[in-house]
Structure 1
Amino acid sequence: MKFYNRENELAILKKADKLKEKHSIMTMLIGRRRVGKTSLVLQPFSLGITLYLFVSKKNEALLCEEFAQEISLKLEVTLFGKITKFEELFAYLLKIGKKKSFTLIIDEFQEFYKINSSIYSSIQKLWDLHKSTSNIHFIACGSIYSLMKKIYEDKKEPLFGRADFKIDLKPLKVSTLKEILQDHNGYSPINLFDFYVLTGGIAKYVELFVLYDSFDEASMIDEIIAPNSLFLEEGKNRLIEEFGKEYGTYFSVLSLIASSKTSKTEIESILEKNISGHLSRLENDYNIIKSIKPIGAKPNAKVQKYEIVDNFLAFWFRFIYKYNSMVEAEAFKRLKEIVKRDFATFKGRFLEKLFIELLKEKQIYTTIGNYWERGNKNEIDIVAIDEIDKKILICEVKLSAKRLNRDALVQKSVNLLKKFQGYKVEYRLLCIDDIEGF
């Protein structure tokens, strides 16, 4: 599959790469697993030499031996003696960087924590000593969000404040997903919606469905729920390492959110335990959920809901994790029947999320979100506010146009509009067919 989008991220990498001719530059690149970080850093944004090192789960001495071979090959240098400490290798790279400029990519940078956490202090010490006299663009790339944030954003950590540039790689945009489907003759509004629901714009999932020529709901579900499917263990593979020993509680919380138990009170009543800390870490440390407050709510308001940020993970927790016994029993036909039975109900809330993403791409509105009142009364699917031109867009979103009701939408917005007096109001009724040309 060809490389899509990422113009803004490539522009940052090109800018940083150009600046390395003055002195060494450090870029921090984070993003969830499968989002396309490695594909991005391996794009030809640099005209010079690029050295790519992958931190695998190995003993430090073995890792250094592997790195030394790659350094000799790519930088055309001879390393004398056996190097067993990464500190020695990094010092050597900075020494080379004083004679020739190059780009250094270290992928899965957070894995040094498990190999030898003192490596970060060594990097900081050497970087501070030699940054101004060497010409390296050092890209530290990581997928364990909590650890990468700790490494670069915790004031107690040695590399705090050392990054010159930061890229938080997001999933592919809806407009890019549409382009991909069009390029592979798979586009229709309903296909785009289902493609968005099941991939969430995560590059690896997009790539797999393109490989399988699966662009509609039925064929994508057939690929996900099948013997030896790469998707079945995806939630475990992505999250157990990040959560550690407490993954069971985190998985229970995420499973409930995926099943529409979206308030803290609901979740705690089912689990019969306080999960304030878990929700906070899931949002702020792991970036897996986000809290949503109604438009116009005060910052300290406790009226909020939670949603899983990653669409596929929401699907995985709703269907794969929930019915894991069927996966273990290899009852794939029966599980597929359950998914196809419940999928329409599950995906309904993602249509408003898709339209919100499309509104964000327009870059017109200063605030976009949802609205509801206490007790979940007067729920409005989308509220978009333009504070500069004093305009407000109020939308109802349904899978079927037959269920849309403008009069009911106007009535539900009465209390909301009291907070935005003087604004020009536009009401819109949106269904799947409105994706085209939105």
Structure 2
Amino acid sequence: MLYFLGSRKYAEAELAQIWMDQVREVFGLNEDDGPRRLTLGNVVRFVMRLTREKPSLMIVDECQALDAVAPAFWADLQGVWDLGKDDSRLLLMMGGSVTSIMRRIFDDAGEPLFGRQDLSLTLRPFTPGEMRRVFLELNPRGSADDLITFHAVTGGVPGYAACLADRTPLTREDLLRWIFSEEGEAFRTEGDMLLATDFRTESSVYERILRAVTFGADTWTSISERLQGQNLAGYMDRLENRYGLLAKRPALFASGTRGLRYGFADPYFRFWFRFVEPAFCRQLAERGMWDALRENCLRSWDAFTEGTLADWFRQIYGADPRWTMTDAWWDRQGGNAVDLVALNEWTQALEMADVRRLPERIDLKALARKAEVFRKACAPQLQGYGEPRQRGLTLEDVLKAPEEL
């Protein structure tokens, strides 16, 4: 087994030499064995020849870095693989952490490796149900507020969750204290690193769009107004489909593009753009004013995590086999909105929920009025359904298993 790491800090010849040294060690070769001209493509070609007699696994981790180190590598690999794969017994696995580049390398019809992968695996964040189990294993006495904070700042990404679990007791206070401290710099700068890799050109437009969404612009019109009418079509499409940062969501049963709302697809970036990226937050961090940063975060934390809470319950209900369709609903004017609607299209059960952090903020009378508007607006789709069950979901329900809700 060979494990190679793509790294931007080396020139191609240097990286090829590092790879070749490992090949010689694993296969027991002499120092003179190997290709005369050291390139990454030639190293792979050499290994493919060796594996005619000795089946092997080659892993290239963080392979998207090779874009910068050896731009011609992918075309070289296409030729090497096409010519040698039938005689070789090599299993080549390539992994990367920048989804947009990985999609381009392997899924873009114009790229050399298009159509040559046998299997593609996408590692996704923990679901809320998985986050709950992980959290309770790590902090059995933790509160619901601690759990929703843990989810809000990591987005369920296992690497982020492990980073925080290794360094904090996973309480809300300790999580925010560590993130907004000198020790938390690597966690805070993760956003800068990922965006710098993704947005190689015109990054300012993408970031202005994401800032607009951060501070309340959730429709095409409102985002366009924040950007002074700039043409957004290409940028919005790439933010959604290439970079996976934005997600557009229609209201339940809605058709067409009217009424679409936009939000962050990645909870980590929703947190990062709100509390780390703003210029005044960066200035406070540069001056080491950690208490001020934490106070800024805590000042709006309850309102911020109420959105996290609504997403949490929509995902919990969406994974529950008792429901076949779950989403939020709002009318075209936006005056009536329901945080969660769940339906079972076979049993024709219907449930609607108002989601708030605190039980005293649940307004079931208002929910009943919205439910009536919803039933009238969606009458064709709700034929045969009875009266919806109406309920409130709060922070107190976060620690419950789905079957307990």
Give me the TM-score of the superposition, normalised by structure 2.
Answer: 0.89
2:147 paired residue number: 192
Q: Report if aligned partners of 1:384, 1:394 keep a CA contact under 8 Å in 2.
A: yes
Distance 1:201 1:97, change over 3 A: same
Distance 1:370 1:216, change over 3 A: same
Distance 1:90 1:190, change over 3 A: same
2:393 paired residue number: 430
Q: How far apart in 2 are the matches of 1:392 and 1:166?
A: 37
SS of equivalent residue, structure 1 residue 375: coil
Distance 1:232 1:66, change over 3 A: same
Q: How far apart in 2 are the matches of 1:109 and 1:232?
A: 24
Higher relative contact order (CA closer than 8 Å, sequence separation 6+): 1
Deviation at 1:290, TM superposition (A): 0.6
Deviation at 1:302, TM superposition (A): 2.7
Q: Which runs of 4+ in 1 moved over 4 A?
A: none
1:204 paired residue number: 159
Among candidates 55, 60, 64, match of residue 110 of structure 1: 64
Q: How far apart in 2 are the matches of 1:73 and 1:396?
A: 62
Q: How far apart in 2 are the matches of 1:73 and 1:352?
A: 54
2:329 paired residue number: 371
Deviations 1:85-120 (CA, angstroms, capped at 9, x unpaired): 122111112112222222211112222222233221
| 2:383 is the alignment partner of 1:421 | yes
Q: In the alignment, residue 146 of structure 1 is paired with which amino acid?
A: S
Q: 347-356 or 328-337, which moves further after superposition?
A: 328-337
Among candidates 289, 293, 300, match of residue 331 of structure 1: 289
Deviations 1:217-238 (CA, angstroms, capped at 9, x unpaired): 1111111111252233222112
Q: Report if aligned partners of 2:139, 2:169 keep a CA contact under 8 Å in 1.
A: no
> What is the aligned residue count?
388
2:312 paired residue number: 354
Where in structure 2 are there 5+ consecutive unaligned residues? none
2:171 paired residue number: 216
Q: Report if aligned partners of 1:290, 1:306 keep a CA contact under 8 Å in 2.
A: yes
1:19 paired residue number: none
Q: How far apart in 1 are the matches of 2:248 and 2:147?
A: 26
Q: Report if aligned partners of 2:314, 2:340 keep a CA contact under 8 Å in 1.
A: yes
Deviations 1:339-385 (CA, angstroms, capped at 9, x unpaired): 11111111111101111222233344333221111221210111233
Q: Report if aligned partners of 2:340, 2:352 keep a CA contact under 8 Å in 1.
A: yes
| 2:295 is the alignment partner of 1:295 | no
Distance 1:70 1:385, change over 3 A: farther
Q: In the alignment, residue 173 of structure 2 is paired with which amino acid?
A: A
1:177 paired residue number: 131
Q: Report if aligned partners of 1:65, 1:83 keep a CA contact under 8 Å in 2.
A: no
1:380 paired residue number: 338
Distance 1:385 1:140, change over 3 A: farther
2:238 paired residue number: 281
2:191 paired residue number: 235
Q: How far apart in 2 are the matches of 1:80 and 1:89?
A: 8
SS of equivalent residue, structure 1 residue 413: helix
Deviations 1:187-226 (CA, angstroms, capped at 9, x unpaired): 3322221111111111222112211233121111111111
SS of equivalent residue, structure 2 residue 59: strand
Deviation at 1:143, TM superposition (A): 2.0
Where in structure 1 are there 5+ consecutive unaligned residues? 1-49
SS of equivalent residue, structure 2 residue 192: helix
Identity of aligned residues (%): 24
Q: Report if aligned partners of 2:152, 2:308 keep a CA contact under 8 Å in 1.
A: yes
SS of equivalent residue, structure 1 residue 244: coil
Q: How far apart in 1 are the matches of 2:258 and 2:356?
A: 28
Q: CA RMSD in A?
A: 2.0
Q: Report if aligned partners of 1:380, 1:409 keep a CA contact under 8 Å in 2.
A: yes
